């Protein structure tokens, strides 16, 4: 019989196999080529591993295989090739397909691989087994990422994280994955603050966090596959210590306002834990469980009140629960909690409210003209309202520096806005005029306290958000507006007025500093008059000539 087997599916030493196995190998790949399989490489690997096992056991014919032989084959493959259960499952799928084709060709009476269960033995450290090296462990993890359809850039990012850790081990002392401890991860975080990256300078805080997260996921995968013992849990830590670590992590990852809000809500949770009876207080994080979280949610819904004595609103409850869920997720990922307790927190769905009516362009003009033009504080308030009407957030407005105001270019530069992003916001002619007048009068209030902040109080201190909200409410009342106006409503008003005058949605998104267009659409509140006008102009029925239709 001529050897028509493609050379890619043989290997050195193939001719040393028994003739029945060689014949089965050739005929299988001939039949497989006619059926155009998807992955020939998996079949070749399954054949080669199976043949190596049969040679070692002295088995020369596939018809003599038993269930005990195939179970021993799986244990042998785990031990010899350091396979993960996913590799073994792929090999068994290929062997089942091989058995089906060989049975169709008449080489086997029955398929011995048809009902073979997958064996996932617990890998125990052995004194004779060679420890897994970083190279082989990384290679298997990257192959697993490839099976999960990870992009090449993602695979390269994980490889770069492992290389950073190997650079740390080259300094701290080499160790294998099975010898890694929690102390290595702590020292690795400190190492990243000084380790030079590709541009010969330390990694940014965001890249340090991402690198540690990728390495931790790599180590969790090794523990799940049985290639290394799991990391010792850190659930014996104090709750206050973990909270401090979470808040420090949040300051590096989230916006400043979000981090402050999380800290405020979690202090609320700590105060509730301290008020519990003496035998039910939680000091260690491992004492957090489903019952404690259920009691906290029950207390929020029934007894919780604000500092002013007013009951919590639905928005207040949601904010506190979302902050707690973020903390529990962090504690679980860092190994402080053995399980993720977020599933025990139920955030009730908020009912959609009818959007309130926003001021029209005429009403907004009345609001802008409400501050007095004869006083310095009135000029300051007019300049603040004009800038807020340009699309600035209240936090961006109050943190604006004098050096970031560019009157000649008719724009302001916003530094480290939400999400640590910088952007440039153009000014209207009215905003430029009143801001210029305020900068001329500003020297009357500057007494050397904060020369950089643009807007100051009468005591020469930076304004607070509460001060700005009270000022806006006072001017809205003076303008006799029929609705209440909050500081954040000015951004919605800006977006709505621009959209009503035909501004593109992408321009509004760039002006407001949104990363997603979906967020921008939430700011748009079309007026009833425009909806009626556009409906009358666009609907086909409104363009028919009904007055000429004769009425019977």
CA distances to 89, 92, 416, 507 from 119, rounded to whole Å, are 9, 10, 54, 58
Are the C-beta atoms of 149 and 88 separated by less than 8 Å?
no
Task: Clarify whether 418 is annotated catalytic.
Answer: yes
Return the H-helix or E-strand segment holding 406: strand 405-406
d(CA 31, CA 91): 19
Residue 465 in tokens: 């958000």
3-state secondary structure 56-108: HHCCCCHHHCCHHHHHHHHHHHHHHHCCCHHHHHHHHHHHHHHHHHHHHCCCC
First to last CA, the chain: 95
Task: Clarify whether 82 is annotated catalytic.
Answer: no
Are the C-beta atoms of 378 and 458 separated by less than 8 Å?
no
Task: Clarify whether 459 is annotated catalytic.
Answer: no
Residue 56 in tokens: 């070692």
Task: Clarify whether 51 is annotated catalytic.
Answer: no
Name the maximum alpha-carbon separation found in the chain.
107
Task: Clarify whether 530 is annotated catalytic.
Answer: no
Q: Of 140, 382, 418, 497, which is the active-site residue? A: 418
Q: Of 265, 491, 492, 497, which is the active-site residue? A: 491
d(CA 98, CA 277): 66
Q: Of 140, 317, 334, 393, which is the active-site residue? A: 393
Q: Of 139, 465, 488, 522, which is the active-site residue? A: 488
Residue 456 in tokens: 């100051």
CA distances to 93, 396, 476, 545 from 114, rounded to whole Å, are 9, 67, 78, 75
Q: Of 82, 214, 265, 514, which is the active-site residue? A: 514
Return the H-helix or E-strand segment holding 132: none
Sort 137 into a burial class: Cβ within 10 Å, 0-12 / 13-18 / 19+.
buried
Task: Clarify whether 488 is annotated catalytic.
Answer: yes
456 pairs with which residues across the strands? Answer: 462
Per-residue DSSP letter, 230: P
d(CA 68, CA 73): 8
d(CA 423, CA 511): 8
d(CA 419, CA 291): 35
Torsional sign, CA 310, 313, 315, 319: positive
Residue 151 in tokens: 């992009």
β 423-426/405-406 pair status: unpaired
> ∠ at Cα 344 (338, 347), nearest 5°?
140
Q: What residues act catalytically?
A: 393, 418, 488, 491, 514, 523
């Amino acid at each position: 019989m001529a050897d028509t087997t493609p050379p890619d599916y043989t290997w050195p030493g193939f001719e040393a196999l028994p003739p029945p196995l060689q014949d089965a190998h050739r005929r299988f790949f001939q039949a497989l080529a006619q059926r155009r399989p998807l992955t020939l490489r998996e079949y070749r690997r399954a054949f080669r591993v199976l043949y190596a096992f049969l040679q070692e056991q002295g088995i020369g014919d596939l018809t003599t295989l038993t269930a005990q032989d195939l179970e021993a084959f799986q244990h042998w493959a785990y031990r010899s090739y350091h396979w993960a259960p996913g590799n073994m499952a792929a090999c068994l799928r290929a062997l089942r397909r091989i058995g089906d084709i060989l049975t169709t060709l008449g080489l086997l009476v029955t398929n011995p691989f048809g009902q073979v269960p997958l064996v996932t033995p617990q890998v125990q450290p052995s004194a004779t087994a060679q420890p897994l090296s970083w190279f082989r462990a990384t290679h298997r993890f990257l192959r697993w990422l490839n099976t999960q359809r990870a992009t090449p850039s993602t695979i390269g990012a994980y490889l770069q994280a492992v290389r950073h850790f190997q650079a740390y081990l080259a300094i701290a002392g080499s160790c294998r994955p099975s010898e890694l401890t929690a102390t290595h991860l702590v020292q690795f975080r400190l190492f990243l603050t000084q380790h030079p990256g590709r541009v010969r300078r330390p990694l940014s805080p965001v890249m340090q966090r991402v690198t540690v997260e990728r390495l931790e996921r790599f180590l969790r995968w090794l523990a799940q596959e049985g290639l290394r013992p799991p990391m010792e849990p850190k659930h014996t830590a104090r709750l206050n210590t973990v909270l401090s670590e979470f808040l420090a992590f949040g300051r590096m990852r989230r916006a400043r306002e979000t981090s402050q809000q999380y800290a405020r809500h979690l202090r609320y949770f700590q105060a509730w834990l301290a008020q519990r009876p003496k035998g039910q207080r939680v000091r260690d994080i491992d004492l957090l469980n489903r019952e404690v979280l259920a009691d906290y949610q029950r207390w929020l819904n029934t007894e919780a009140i604000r500092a002013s004595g007013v009951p919590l609103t639905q928005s207040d409850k949601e904010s506190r629960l979302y902050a707690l869920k973020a903390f529990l997720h962090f504690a679980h990922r860092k190994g402080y909690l053995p399980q993720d307790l977020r599933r025990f927190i139920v955030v009730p769905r908020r009912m959609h409210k009818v959007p309130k009516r926003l001021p029209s362009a005429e009403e907004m003009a009345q609001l802008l003209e409400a501050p007095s033009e004869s006083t310095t504080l009135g000029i300051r308030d007019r300049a603040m309202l004009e800038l807020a009407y340009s699309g600035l957030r209240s936090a961006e407005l109050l943190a604006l520096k004098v050096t970031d105001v560019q009157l000649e270019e008719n724009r302001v530069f916003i530094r480290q806005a939400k999400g640590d992003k910088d952007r440039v916001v153009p000014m209207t002619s009215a905003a430029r005029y009143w801001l210029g007048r305020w900068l001329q009068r500003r020297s009357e209030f500057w007494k050397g306290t904060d020369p950089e902040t643009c807007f100051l109080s009468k005591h020469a201190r930076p304004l607070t958000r509460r001060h700005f909200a009270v000022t806006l409410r006072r001017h809205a009342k003076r303008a006799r507006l029929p609705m209440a106006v909050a500081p954040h409503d000015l951004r919605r008003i800006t977006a709505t007025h621009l959209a009503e005058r035909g501004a593109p949605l992408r321009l509004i998104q760039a002006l407001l500093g949104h990363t997603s267009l979906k967020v921008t659409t939430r700011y748009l509140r079309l007026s009833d008059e425009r909806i009626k006008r556009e409906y009358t102009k666009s609907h086909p029925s409104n363009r028919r000539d009904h007055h000429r239709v004769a009425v019977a």
